[in-house]
A and B are shown apart, each in its own frame.
Chain A
Amino acid sequence: MAAVTPAKQARGTVFVRTEVCKGCSYCIDFCPSKCIEFSKDFNAKGYHFPVLTRPEDCSGCDLCGVYCPDFAIFGVRLKDLEKRIQAQRAEDKAA
Chain B
Amino acid sequence: MDGDHAACEGALAAGCRFVAGYPITPSTEVVERFAQRIPLIGGMFIQMEDEIASSIAILGAAWAGKKVMTVTSGPGLSLMMEHIGYAAITETPCVFVDVQRGGPSTGLPTLPAQADMMQVRWGSHGDYEIIALSPNSPQECFDLMIKAFNLAEEYRVPVFFMMDEVVGHMTERVVIPEASAIEVMERRWTSKPPGEYKPYAADDDMVPEMVKAGDGYRIHITGLTHDERGYPAMNPPTQKRMMERLLGKIRNNREKLIDVRGEHLEDAEIVVVSFGITSRVSGPAIEEARKQGLKVGHLRMVIAWPFPASVIQQLALRVKAFVVPELNMGQMVLEVERAVAGKTRVISVPHPGGTVHEPQEILTKILEAAR
Q: A and B touching (C-beta < 8 Å)?
A: no
